[in-house]
Structure formats: C-alpha cells, structure tokens
Structure 1
Amino acid sequence: MHLSWSLFISFLLFSCLIYSQENKQIQFKLLGQDDEMSFLSEKESKSVYEKLKWIDLKNNNSLSFGGSYRFQAESFINENFNHQGAQDNIWYLNRILLHALFKINQKFDAYIELSSSTAIGKTNVSPVDKDLLAVNQAFAAYYFNSNWSLLLGRENLGFGSRRLVDVREGPNVRRSFDLARIDYKNETTKLTTFFAIPVKNKEGAFDNDYVKSSETFSGVYLSKNFHKYINFDIYGFYQKDDDVTYAIGTADERRYTFGGRYFGSYKNVTFNNEAAYQLGLFGNNKINAYTLSLNAEYATKFIGDKTTIGLKTELISGDKNRNDNRLNTFDALYPRGAYFGRVARFGPSNLIDIHPYINTIYSKYYVAIDYDVFWRYSKNDGVYDAALFLQYPSTNTSAFIGHQIGTVTGFNFTNHLNIELETNIIIPGNFLKQNGATASLFHSVLTAEYKF
C-alpha cells in the first residue's frame, strides 16, 4: 500500500514538472493511436518533451511515443449487500500503458501498445483487475487511398455510443480483439466490416493467447452524418460463443444483432436514441431479444460555465418463460465494464431503468449527479452483473431491484493530468431483499490519470 501511494505521489510531481516544459495543445484521446499532435510536423521550435513525443524521420515518415499511468483507490461498504465480514475493504489498482506509432508516408501505420495492470490489497481478483504484462494492441494498417484501409492485428474496439462494443475503460484491464478489419470513410460516411476473436485475459506476463478462442465476433457498422441533428448508425453483428449461461441454463450460443442509432443536436438539446433486435440459437432455444434506449439532454448556464440536464431510459429484454424453447434475454455483447457507473453491480440484461442526471462544468472543475432506478423486465429471469453473468436468480416475483445514487467530482489540472472521485450508493428493492441482499451498498473510487 505504501509503495502504491509513493508511486502515485511521484507521478503527480513528475507530471507537474513535465507539464511546465511542454506544449499544451496535444489532445489526448481515449486510444493512444488517435492522439492529435499533427501540428508538431510544422512546428519549428519544439520543447524537449515534444521532441521525444514525435520524431520526424523525413519524407513524411514519423515515429511517436506515448502512454498513460492510472491509479485508483477503490472501496466498498456492504459490498455484497450485507453486513457480514470486514467492511474496511480497500484496494489499489495501477495501470500503465506505453505505445509507439510508426507512420510511413501516410500509407502505412505500425502500432504497438504494452499494458501492465496490477491490483494491490484485493482479495477476489478478476480478469479485468490484473494482467501483469500484456500486448494490449499491436496492429498494422495499410491505406489504399484517402477512403479505404485494411487493419490486421490486435486492437481495442469500440462502435458508436459504445453500448454494445466498448474498449472497457472503466475496469483496470481494457478489452482487446485479434481482428481483421476493412474501413471506408469520406466526409459523411464511415463503414467498417470486421472479423474478430476476443482476447481472454490472464494474470501473468505475456500469457494471453493470440487468435485462440472458441468465441468469435464479426459484423458490419455504418455511420452516416447528414447534418448536426440528423445522424444515423446501422449495424449487424454475429457472435459465436460456447458454454454460455443464462437463467434457463448453459449451452452454445449463436447470436445475431441488428440495430440502429439516431443521434444529434438541435439548438440546446442533444439526443441519442438506439434500438437493437437479436435472434439466433441458444442450444435448442430460439433467441428473440431486444433493447431500446432513449436519451435526451438540455444544455444551459444554470450553474457554472455549462450545465447539462438529461434523462435516459432503457428497456432491455429478459426471458419470459423458461419452458417455451425461446430465450428472450438480451446479450449486450461487449459493453462497458462500468455500464451503470463504476460500481458495476448490474449489467444490461433483463432491465428497465430510468436515469435522470445533471452535469456542470466550471473552469477546470466538473460535477455530475445522477439517480437511477431499476426493475426487472421479466419476473421469470434474474439479474446479471456487469460481465453478464447471472448474479441473482429469479427466486421471487418482485420486479423492483433498487435505487442507485451516484456522484462524480473531477478536476482537470492540465490536458495531461486529471483527478476524479466517484461515489455510488445502491438501496436494495424488494427483489434483492428477498434474495438476502438487504443492506445498502456504498462504493467509492478515487482515480488519478496522467497521459504523456
């Protein structure tokens, strides 16, 4: 614990020193390969940091480096919705990402990113908590022209609003795929077709397999932007997975997902609506499942520099009848690990939720407050966790799961350094109480991340 805090403080001091010497205009993105630093190619006088960040190899060739360090201190009270056992469970998560990008004449990219994710003080370590040393991404991309490209290798994958396919940034270990993908893009259109194999994370050093799994994921994703308030995504996915467990049992699954998204903004209103339907086979059972998500928010200056007031609601189907040879439980495929906040107690299957929220920004500070209320879509199906494993079986006829109240308070010191505190409290409803989960759960996580 003392070593973890020492590393954390050292990184804070180091970040402040480096920041005083480097250019402030580099824009860091979620994925390192998307960092925006093109202005360095034309800048004549570069700082020491900029010279290390981006190296001109002449003839439109370049080599760039970067990465991030993230520290998290996480704690629960009544972690399993009961008062049993010690309640002073606090652990520390550390994640380091280091990457290099080699670009040749705007025709070829070679990218590699190593990751190290560790957990200190946590008793039950999961695959999303610890991966001592791994190749998180390693791919080569060839650009046939300004429109078409081919990518082969290992990559973090995300589409659209990332409700169904996400990088999984919340947990300590990101999600990777070994894949082949072809992309087309112009000013208003982006089309991606791919075939991928999810990487199964292991705890050791360089022990994750390459292109070795019974699970596959493939599909097509089309984005079309007509106007700032008329934008559409249309997609079709196919997932093959063996030995999957739902409330009705365990079997091999072959699932197709077809969906669409309509999003944009009009004056001060932003909206993001999405629907998806699933069919296929789960053993001898036919799959018929769906989800509908509606989200609208209004921007004003009620508090601070900008205030956003929003409302989101989701309908996510669950299995209606265990004996009708049909599976109605929606599978969210590869969603965010923190789908309903970093507390991550409920996953996007068999749920109805209503989620009002308010966010405000003042200078470099931001605060978000949200309230979420959950019901079971079907009383014959259970409640699933963030990894889509059945957590609470359907042992009673109550639909109400509970209330969740969350806050996020953060401060952006620079575009390199951010500190954020998130808290959540979940008050059990009748369904959880009748499953023996009677105590309110409290969760907090302090996150500090430095990008370079």
Structure 2
Amino acid sequence: MKKWVYILLFWSFASIAQESDIQFRLLRQEDQLSTLKDKEEKNPYEKLKWIPLGENNRLSLGGSYRFQSEAFINEEFSSEVDQDDIWFLNRFQFHSHLRIADTFEFFAELNSSLITSKANLAPVDRDELSFNQLFARYHFDENWNVLVGRQNMRLGSGRLIDIREGPNVRLSFDMAQLQYQNEKTEITTFYAVPVIVGQGVFDNDALDFQESVAALYWTQHWKPNSSTDIHVIYKEEEAKTWDSGTADDNRLSLGLRHFGRWKKLTYNNEFVFQTGSFGDQNIRAWTASFNIEHPISILGTNSAIGLKTEAISGDTSGTDGTLNTFDGLYPRGAYFGRVARIGPSNLFDIHPYFDTSVGRFNFELDYVAFWRFSRQDGVYGPPLNLQYPSINEERFIGHQIGTITAFELNKFITLEFETNLIFPGGFLKESGLDDTLFHAVFTAEFKF
C-alpha cells in the first residue's frame, strides 16, 4: 500500500511541474535543461533543477524511483524446481550536477537497489547503497573533454557496452576517458574497470583489475540519415568460463555499425570480429546483426513492423586449439526482454516485432526463435555465464513470445507491464528442461 501512496504523491508533484520544458535522458547527466537558462519566472520544481551559484555556475538536483513486481513460473524450464511466486524490487537514485562556467562539471549519483521476497539473489538484484556514478569532467574547449571517475556507459546501440537498465542494479565503470565531438563526429577513448557489486552499504569493489576494458569508439554522421560506428575494444578477464573450460580471456573486438534511414525504412546493422587468446587457445569469433523497421498505419495509429536477426558464433571444437565463442562483453541486461534467459553467445535468432502507439499508450508484440549456432557449444545467459551446457546434439533452443504495454501518465511517470512465454525446443527438452516458462513484470517509474 505504501508504494501506491508514494506513486500518487509523485503524480501530484509531477502535475505541478508538468509545464516545464525539461527533457529527461536515460543517463541523467545528459538531461536537457537549457530552456531554463533565460527563463525569469521558474516554478518550484524548475528552481530545483537550475540553482544559480554566482554568475556562470549552477547546480541541478534530480533523481528517480522505480518499483517493479516480477514473477516467474517454471523459471528454469522445470516445474520440479522450487518456485518463487513473486518478488518486489525498488530502486532509488538521487543525483547532483554541478557546472562551473563551461569548463568544469561534477556529477554524483547515489543508488539504492532493494529487493524483497526472492530467495536466490543474483548480483544485479541488490545494492543497498552506493555511488552509481561519481565523476569529474573538464572541458578544454567546445570539442574536447576529459572525464575521470565512475560512470554508466552506452556505446552505439548498446550491443557490446550498455548501462544494464533492465535489472535492478546498473553497470558502472571506474574509468578515465578522453572525448572529441563536433556536429558530425564523436570520438571516445577510455580505459575502464567494471565495478563489482557488493550488495551492502558502500561495499562495492573498485578497481578490481581482474577484469578491464579499453576502447576507441568513432561515430561519424555522414548525412542526416546515414551514420557509422567504427570501434576497437580490448577486454581482459581472468578465469572466464565458457563451455570449453575456464581460463584467462584476452580479446580484441573490431566492429562496424551502419545505421540510419532509407526512404521510410529504418536500419541498424552491425558486424564484429574478435581475436585474442583464451588460455592456450586462439580466439576467432564473430557476430552479424541486422535490424530493419518500416512504419505502417493501422486505424490511424503510429505503428511499425520490424525484423531483427543475429548470427553469433559458438565454439566448433574443443580440441582444435581455437575458441570460436563470441563474447558479448557488457551487453544489455535484458537482451531479449526482461525475462533474461538467453544472451548473445553461440546463437542464431529470428526476431519479428510489431509496435504501435495510441495516445499515451504504447504496445509491443514480438516473437523470437532461438537456435544454437554450434552444436558443440552451450547456451549462455545475458551476463555471458554458461546457463545450459552442451550435453546433446539438438540445435533448436525454443520459441519466445513477448508483449509490453506502456502508459505515460506524463513526462515524469510511466507505467509498464511486460509478459514473456518461452516454449522449450529440442535442446532444452533433451537437457531435461521441458516445461514452458512464464514471466511477468510490472514497472512504475517516477523521474524528477
């Protein structure tokens, strides 16, 4: 009951501030507040977002609260496993953003991610209190800047490095970053160490050099509707486990992404090749991803149909001295929906979908068919952990049908209900996992 009281209070607050022109972003340091600069009469909420500190300095405060209720039936494709009926997740975030002239900025974001009623916790379920982000950025001029500290990151479409928004705890990196950008070009280079979540109060492990990543990422906007990403990413990880065993994994990813629009067709295509070493084996892995979408009109609604398909390499032999398993690095935590059962390694999938908007409502329907790319490799979860080892010769993993129904009360409050059904295919059935999985999650989020 208290949760609904909070939501109603947030709704009342949001109604007062609704006239504001502020635009929220997924990364809150990128919120658009420029319309407040020359606005003489600010309401109480706008005064919170733009606090002048002298002539050229300002402070902005903000945050969010996200409540989720999540449930599984046959979470591991087996009715014989103990069932957790339903659990509740709460995530609070509060940030302050200080800007000194156009030269220096300091951003701090506290996070508290809590969960109740779930027996077996994953590392992404709980982090009682921590700094999700804490960094300083210095702007040499309007093009160049350097950042040092803790930050969430999303590169490109988030296929290789993402902030992990789906789960309760986001992914943070302790890092040093140099960035250049103008109207058509964005170049980012960095060295980063992922933060290991401790689940308690300020107990996350910082600068644990058992795992690190360095990258050069270049985005070029050639035309208004045609852009490319070119990237080089080097990742080192100690004691990584694939289906073929456990060893130190050091790999270089070379990638090209082309995205934009052609006439009415929106496209987003990407290819990545990986090389390096896994213990005493060489790495030769790759992925190709294609996504096209076309708008349609149904009874006057804004709708679209699309198709995604991916081929992601898996290991072809455990004795040839070469590892072919693709490493998705730090992908979205909800790679194929928040059901989060299958991740981007050793996979071939076909993913048609339909999306429509009616007023403040948005509805999505999608279907995914999954196959193992290689019969000699297992099936991995979104965090690239080995979920289901290769113990049979079946290739087909299963069918997944998902829906998302979202309602935007206003720019501050959104409600969403997602459902997923996964019907096991031959590989899961031959592994003794033959029960249909059902998943549902309700999300209410308030931003300010």
Alignment of 1:331-350 (within 5 A): 331-350=327-346
Identity of aligned residues (%): 49
Q: For residue 203 of structure 2, what is the aligned residue in structure 1?
A: 207
CA distance in 1, matches of 2:34, 2:7: 27
Alignment coverage as a number of residue pairs: 447
The residue matched to 2:207 in structure 1 has which SS? coil
- Consecutive unaligned residues of structure 2, counting only runs of 5 or more, are none
Instruction: Quote the offset at 1:98 in angstroms.
Output: 0.4
Q: For residue 103 of structure 2, what is the aligned residue in structure 1?
A: 107
CA distance in 2, matches of 1:448, 1:24: 21
CA distance in 2, matches of 1:162, 1:40: 31
Instruction: Quote the offset at 1:304 in angstroms.
Output: 4.8
TM-score by length of 1: 0.97
Q: Is the 8 A contact 1:228 1:266 kept in 2?
A: no
Q: For residue 41 of structure 2, what is the aligned residue in structure 1?
A: 45
- Consecutive unaligned residues of structure 1, counting only runs of 5 or more, are none
Q: For residue 11 of structure 2, what is the aligned residue in structure 1?
A: 16
Alignment of 1:40-439 (within 5 A): 40-87=36-83, 89-439=85-435
CA distance in 1, matches of 2:76, 2:129: 30
Q: Is the 8 A contact 1:262 1:274 kept in 2?
A: yes
Instruction: Quote the offset at 1:210 in angstroms.
Output: 2.3
Instruction: Quote the offset at 1:267 in angstroms.
Output: 2.5
Which 10-residue stretch deviates more, 40-49 or 162-171? 40-49
Q: Is the 8 A contact 1:304 1:360 kept in 2?
A: no
The residue matched to 1:187 in structure 2 has which SS? coil
Instruction: Quote the offset at 1:305 in angstroms.
Output: 3.1
Q: Describe the superposition over 1:133-186 as per-residue Cα deviations: whole angstroms up to 9, x where unpaired.
A: 001000000000011000000000110010000000000000000000000000
Instruction: Quote the offset at 1:32 in angstroms.
Output: 1.0
Displacement over 6 Å in runs of 4+:
none
AA matched with 1:294: F
CA distance in 2, matches of 1:323, 1:255: 20
Q: Describe the superposition over 1:232-255 as per-residue Cα deviations: whole angstroms up to 9, x where unpaired.
A: 000000001100000110001111
CA distance in 2, matches of 1:387, 1:16: 35
Instruction: Quote the offset at 1:63 in angstroms.
Output: 0.2
AA matched with 1:107: T
CA distance in 1, matches of 2:382, 2:15: 40
Q: Is the 8 A contact 1:304 1:361 kept in 2?
A: no
CA distance in 2, matches of 1:420, 1:389: 28
Q: Is the 8 A contact 1:241 1:252 kept in 2?
A: yes
CA distance in 2, matches of 1:250, 1:14: 51
Alignment of 1:25-36 (within 5 A): 25-36=21-32
Q: Is the 8 A contact 1:303 1:360 kept in 2?
A: no
How large is the RMSD of aligned CA atoms in angstroms?
A: 1.0
The residue matched to 1:289 in structure 2 has which SS? strand
The residue matched to 1:75 in structure 2 has which SS? strand
Instruction: Quote the offset at 1:303 in angstroms.
Output: 4.6
AA matched with 1:39: T
